[in-house]
Amino acid sequence: MPFDTRSSPASPAASVEGVTGFYRFTDIFFEWHQALPNQDDVSPLKALLAYNALVHPDHPLRKPGVSGIELHLGTFENGEMRLLFSSAQIEYMRYYLHTIRLTKEAIPLPSSEYLIQPKDLVNISPDVYNDATVLKRAIKTIDKNNKRLKKGMDNMLGLRRLMFERVRTLWAARLGTWCAMDFEAWDRDHTLLTEFGWRLVRWVDEQPVKEHGHLIVKERRQYTQHYVPNNREFYNFGKSIDVSKEEFRDRICGIINKHREHGPLFLVFHDQSQDIKYLKSAAISAIERTDVLADSPMDGEIYVVDTAELFAALEGDSNNTRSLERICRHLKIDTSYLHNAGNDAYYTLEAMISMASGDPVDQQREQRWPNRTADNMPKVEFQEWEEDSDFSDMEGIFGVPVKGANAVAQPDADDDDF
C-alpha cells in the first residue's frame, strides 16, 4: 500500500464526524504498516491494529456507550460487502500514536487511491465487535459470501440484502417511529375490515416510547372466518377495543398523522401488499403513497419495511415468502393466536427488531444457523422438522429439538425487549 504524504489536522474525535471516506479493514490491517517509510513506526501501528487490541475496552477508537469497536459494513452496487474503517478513525489512530509519543511524527495516511468515497457505496451500516475471535470470523465470512456473489446472485436477493442492511442502519440510529400494523378482513369479502392491530416504538431523549393495541369493528362482530382461525377475542397483550367503522378509520389515520410529526414513519408489515391496499382504500384513506426506504429518510415521509423480505434476505432466498408463523419459529419467537390483528402486529415488530438489532446479514445467518448453507449460494437448508408447522403433533412421542414455537406468549407490560 502506498502512503499519502499529506499532513492533515489531528482530530480527537474517533467517530464518523468529519468522515471523507472509508478504507477496507483488510487494507489497513495487512498493508498500511508495510508502506511506512520509518520502520520504527511499524510495531506501534501493528500493535494498535491487532485483533485483541481493537476489541479492548481501552482502545482509543472505543466510543462512549458502545460495547465494542464500531466499524462499518459497506455494500457496493454489485452486492459485495466490505468491513471498513472510516477516514476519521484512520486520522485518529495516527494522531493518537504521535500524541502518546509512540511515533516521532504523525505517520503518513494510506494513499488516496485506497480511499472509498461514500458515493461508491449503496449502504453503510454499523458493525460492532467486542471479541477478537468474532472479528476474525467476520472477515472470513464476508470474504466467503463475496466469492459466492461473484458466482452469480439474482437481483431480487441483492435488493433484499441491501434493504436488510439499510434497516439495520436506521434502527441503530433510533430514527423516527417504527410502527407495525396488521388488518384482518372477513375471508369471504376482503373489503370488509374487521380488526386492526398496531405496535410502535419511537425515541425521546434516547429513551424508547412504546405503544400497542387492538381495535375491533363492532358492526362486524357477526362475521366469522371460514378459512383462517377465529382469534378475534384472543389478544395477548391487553384489552381489545370495540369501535364503530368511523372511529376505526379515524383511529388509524390518527396514529399515522401523529407519528409523522416526530420524523420519518417506518410502517412495518408482514407481506405488505394487502395492508397497503387497506390503508389506501376508501374505507381508511390513511395514506396516499409510500416511499422507497432511503439512506436519509425525510421527516414526515412514510416508508415501508417488510419482515417477509427481511427474512428472505437473512435466509438467502429470493423466491419464497414465508408466513409470519414460520418466520417467528425460525427466529425463535414464541407465538400464539395468530390471525388476531393485534397479535400479528406485535409479533411482526418483534421479528423486525430481532433481525434489525442483530449483526450484518451474512454474519447473522451463520450465527443463527451455523454451517447450513451450500458453497455456491447463501441459502439456509432447513431441516424438515424446522419447516413443518405440524411437527408439534409429535412432541409427546419424540420431543422437540428446539424451543417450542407454539407456547403461549406472555404479555410484557413494560415491553423491555428493545
Residue bearing cell 483488510: 26
Instruction: Collect all residues with Cβ–Cβ distance below 8 Å to 363 and sequence separation of at least 6.
Output: 137, 138, 141, 142
Does the domain at 177-398 match CATH 3.30.420.10? Answer given as yes
Q: What is the mean pLDDT of the chain?
A: 85
% of the chain at pLDDT higher than 90: 59
Count of CB atoms situated within 10 Å of the CB of 57:
9
Q: Which of 176, 160, 167, 122 is nearest to 302 (CA)?
A: 176
Q: Backbone phi, then psi, for 417, in 5-degree steps?
A: -110, 10
Residue extents of the structural domains in the chain: 9-152, 177-398
Q: Tens of pLDDT along 282-299?
A: 999 999 888 878 778 999
Q: Backbone phi, then psi, for 211, in 5-degree steps?
A: -160, 145
Give CA torsion, residues 383, 387, 391, 395, to 10 deg.
Answer: 60
Q: Which pLDDT score, from 0 to 100, does residue 319 have?
A: 74
25 alpha carbon, distance to own chain's centre? 22
Q: Which pLDDT score, from 0 to 100, does residue 151 have?
A: 64
This prediction has a pTM of 0.74
User: What SS3 class is residue 365?
Assistant: helix
User: What SS3 class is residue 3?
Assistant: strand
Q: Tens of pLDDT along 219-275?
A: 999 998 888 999 999 999 999 999 999 999 999 999 999 999 989 999 999 988 899
Q: Tens of pLDDT along 357-376?
A: 998 898 899 899 988 776 55
Give CA torsion, residues 154, 157, 159, 164, to 10 deg.
Answer: -160
Over residues 62-72, mean pLDDT: 91
Q: Which helix (H) or strand (E) holds 273?
A: helix 273-280
Residues 378 and 365: beta-carbon distance below 8 Å: yes
Retrieve residue 203's grid coordinates.
425515541
Query: Which whole-number Å values give the CA distances from 187 to 64, 153, 190, in the listed order?
Result: 52, 37, 6
Instruction: Name the DSSP letter for residue 112.
Output: G
Model confidence at 91: pLDDT above 60: yes
Predicted confidence band of residue 157 (pLDDT cuts 50, 70, 90): confident
